[in-house]
Amino acid sequence: MLFALSWKNIWRNPLRSAVVIASIALGLFCGIFATAFMNGMGRQTVDNAVTRELANIQLHEPSFVEEPLPSRVIPGADSIFAALRADTSVKAVAARTGVTAMAATAKTGAGVVVKGVDPVEERRISRLPDDIITGNWFEGNRRNAAVIGGKLAEKLAAKLKTRIVLTTQNREGELTGGAFAVVGIFETSNSTFDENTVFVKRSDLSRLIGAEGDAIHEIVLLLKRNESTDSMAAMVKNAYPGLSVRTWKEIQPEVGMMESLMRQMMYLFVLVILFALSFGIVNTMLMAVLERRREFGMLMAVGMSNRRIFSMVMIETVLLSIAGGVLGMALGEGAVAATAKTGINLSSLGKGLAAIGYSPLVYPYIDAGFFGGLCLLVIVSGIVASIYPAVKALGLNPADAVRSET
Amino acid sequence: MSIIELKDVTKTFNAATVPIHAVGGVDLTIDEGEFAAIVGPSGSGKTTLLNLIGGLDEPTSGSIIIDGTDITRLKPGERTRFRLRNIGFVFQSYNLIPVLTVYENAGFIMELRGDPAAERDRRVRRLLDEVGLGDRLESRPSRLSGGQQQRVAVARALAPRPRFILADEPTANLDSHSAENLLEIMARLNREENATFLFSTHDPRVVKKARRVITIEDGAVASDKRMPEERAVHG
């Protein structure tokens, strides 16, 4: 009875209720879309970091992490590589050689990180080959080929076929160098990465640093599910206690922090919106109660209990909130669905975003669980917003209220 | 058999500042099946007295015994439940719920009491037929005249078969024809259902119909007259 009566009461003043429902819907729509937008940015940052730079887990010889010297290779890398590739939760494994070097062209030079990769293996683990904007990803059997970032190319005034000299230390700690021809230029959303990373073939780099066979400094794992990163890392640590095993969150904690911060911000953001909206709801319900003083007086007089009167006002408020909430969630989900495939192009801000590791094309994303939490928040806001008007209703004196003008 | 018994009931407002003695030492007994009117000039205390009898207000002293229960000793929640179970109210301004139909309004208190739906349906339909609104079950109050709305209010009050009905100025907002019609209906229901009615009124038409007229002046019973039986029956 209370439920049906409360629902009918909402439509007593359709315009006023519609305004409140619309304001809740609009507020939630904005909250959901902004949340999905931030969430999308956060996910893309993580996704970019994992699929282009870091993968899920990296293994190194522990001292290499402190100072990446060419001599600090992973002992028994081949067997570790084979064992990890056999794990069912692993999507792909790659072994890399890594050194720091000076890259120089005839015009200028820059400090860089050189990654020696197996191009086929690397393609399985990284989407970077898809980001080539000029040239190719080590096609053919050309020796001493290099793929560099667009920013670095700009800095070194290099283009395709430009020869760059990489100067680094060899295994003995002596200076060594080699000329590499640019065969590809990539561009990711992380301009810092683009500015200081050079990819060469693992065999070429190993030869440059004087290693017998391939020198493996780094084994990277791409997992089938990002969520299993921590558990897999724990297993690998257990299996190889002598190695440094780090997840992408440990390597770039700021990316992990950003992701968790954005998750918390999602609820905080919507909470602030609902908090602001609840004042509007309180105002509306207070008006509704005061306009119906005579009716509340009658209800009290005929024997409706305080609990039922309180519940009636509360249900009315919650229903009003839910109506706005459902509409807002439908609009928000619709807008997210509409933009999730095409993305939102922020190329006008693109350079600034890329400098801090964001893609200028943002794909809003919101997971279904968020809506569950949101429903709960909407209901709680409705309950909280109903307290004051309901207490006002209970404060009426039935004998006076039944004789009032309203 | 008495349903309502007031023993030395007083009510003083603003006791701490400027005391107003609205009701002073009233002793009164209302029997089952009575059709009684409390009359008196404005400010005489008749509405206060009705509020006290209805448990909407607490007396400053004295006791109000309804069907053997001293309602002045009940806690607020118990008094609310007592009203729901025992007292019917008809208000001057009808006070129907505008979003409910005539049928829903008339059955509202029975529903509030949790009476079985089938019984409620039978009772509400019969009463609405009795008050001449059997063909307006689905109408909203806003589509009815004042007299029709007050008839719905009477049906609502009578539906759960309360021990008695308190009607505060029930004809004050009605034209002569509607008022006469309403009084006829209430008088008939009083006879047929043995429903006890206690009015507070200024209206001479109500006074004319009443079988007992209690006059209140300055918060006290100035006179208490029982009228000949045929007066109420034949108007």
pLDDT tens string B109-160? 999 999 999 999 999 999 999 889 999 999 999 999 999 999 999 999 999 9
From B54, B88, B95, residue closest to A298, measured CB to CB: B95
H-run or E-run covering A239: helix A229-239
Q: Which residue is it, tokens 């931030």?
A: A38
- Quick check: A367 pLDDT over 80? yes
User: Is the sign of the CA dihedral A84, A86, A91, A96 positive or negative?
Assistant: positive
- The ipTM is 0.91
Residues of chain B with Cβ-Cβ distance to A306 below 8 Å are 77, 80
- Looking at residue B235, its pLDDT comes to 42
Q: In terms of CA atoms, which chain A residue is nearest residue B77?
A: A305
* Residue A150 to residue A139: CA distance in whole angstroms: 19
What is the arithmetic mean of pLDDT over A215-243? Answer: 92
Nearest-CA distance A304 → chain B (Å):
7
Kindly determine whether residue A298 and residue B51, on different chains, have CB atoms separated by under 8 Å: no
Q: Tens digit of pLDDT for each residue in B160-204?
A: 999 999 999 898 888 888 888 888 888 988 988 888 999 999 888
DSSP A174: -
- Looking at residue A42, its pLDDT comes to 82
Sequence-separated (6 or more) residues with CB below 8 Å from residue B17: none
* Residue A63 to residue A148: CA distance in whole angstroms: 27
Percent of the residues in chain B that have a pLDDT greater than 70, as a whole number:
97
Partner B contacted by A395 (CB < 8 A): no
- pLDDT category of residue A203 using cuts at 50, 70 and 90: very high
Interface test with B, best of A5, A10, A302 (most B CBs within 10 A): A302
* Angstrom distances, CA of residue B183 to CA of B35, B53, B84, B128, B192: 11, 22, 24, 15, 14
Partner B contacted by A302 (CB < 8 A): yes
Partner A contacted by B105 (CB < 8 A): no
- Quick check: B233 pLDDT over 60? no
Domains and CATH numbers, chain B: 2-234 (3.40.50.300)
Residue A110's identity, in one-letter code, is A
